[in-house]
């Protein structure tokens, strides 16, 4: 898989622990460092502290939803590559995501882990 000279840091905001762990595993397998946030506020705190190179964000999360997290992230880094990984299939949400400059909007249940890992690598290389 991808080998990068500098280990990129990827922020993952996901409130479901089993999914957070699995995404983090794939991020590490792809050769990156995973920064794990369990809710929207933790995601923002960690982003400010760790300055990630890319972010994977869920939409429905406690304390702050994914869109609010992305708006906050955009204030500090307008071109941070972001991908939404959610199970919320609404055309409106898809549109909101693209207005916020999100690279990919992915439905968790419809993607294999292998595909997700590819998307992560692609996300960081953009």
Partner 1 sequence: MAVLRRKQTIDFKEAVSHAYDHIVITDPDGKILYANPAVSSTTGFSHEEVIGNTPKLWGGLMKPAFYKSFWRTIKHQKKPFAGEVKNKRKDGSVYTADVRVSPILDKRNNVRYFIGIERDVTQVRRLDDSRNEFISLVSHQLRTPLSTLNWYSEALLDNNIGKLNTEQTAYISELYDATQRMIKLVNDLLNSTRIDFGNIKLQSTKIDMHDVFSDILRDCQVPIKRHHLVIHNDVKQKGKYVISSDRPTLYVIFENIITNAIKYTPSKGHIYITVAETKKDITVSVRDTGYGIHGGDKTKIFDKYFRSESIKKVSTDGTGLGLFITKAFTHSLGGTITFDSSGKGTTFHVTIPKMLKEEK
- CB distance 71 to 91 below 8 Å: no
| Nearer residue to partner 1 within complex by CB, 28 or 48 | 28
State yes or no: residue 18 binds partner 1 (CB under 8 A). yes
What 3-state DSSP class applies to 75? helix
State yes or no: residue 90 binds partner 1 (CB under 8 A). yes
| Nearer residue to partner 1 within complex by CB, 48 or 113 | 113
How many other CB atoms are there within 10 angstroms of residue 98's CB atom?
13
What 3-state DSSP class applies to 12? strand
Q: Of the ranges 34-42, 45-53, 72-80, 93-101, which one interacts with partner 1 (CB under 8 A)?
A: 93-101
State yes or no: residue 100 binds partner 1 (CB under 8 A). no
Closest C-alpha to 64, from 80, 81, 78, 44: 44
DSSP element (H, E) containing 90: none
| Nearer residue to partner 1 within complex by CB, 53 or 66 | 66
Interface positions with partner 1 (CB under 8 A): 16, 18-19, 22, 25, 29, 60, 87-92, 94-95, 98, 107-110, 112-115
């Amino acid at each position: 898989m991808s080998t990068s000279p500098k280990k990129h840091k990827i922020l993952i905001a996901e409130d479901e622990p089993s999914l957070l762990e699995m995404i983090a595993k794939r991020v590490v397998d792809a050769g990156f460092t995973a920064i794990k946030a369990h809710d929207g506020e933790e995601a923002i705190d960690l982003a400010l502290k760790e300055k990630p190179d890319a972010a994977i964000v869920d939409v429905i999360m406690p304390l702050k939803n994914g869109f609010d997290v992305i708006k906050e992230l955009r204030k500090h880094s307008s071109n941070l590559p972001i991908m939404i990984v959610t199970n919320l299939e609404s055309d409106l949400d898809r549109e909101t995501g693209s207005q916020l400059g999100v690279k990919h909007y992915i439905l968790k249940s419809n993607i294999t882990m292998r595909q997700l890992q590819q998307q992560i690598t692609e996300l960081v290389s953009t």
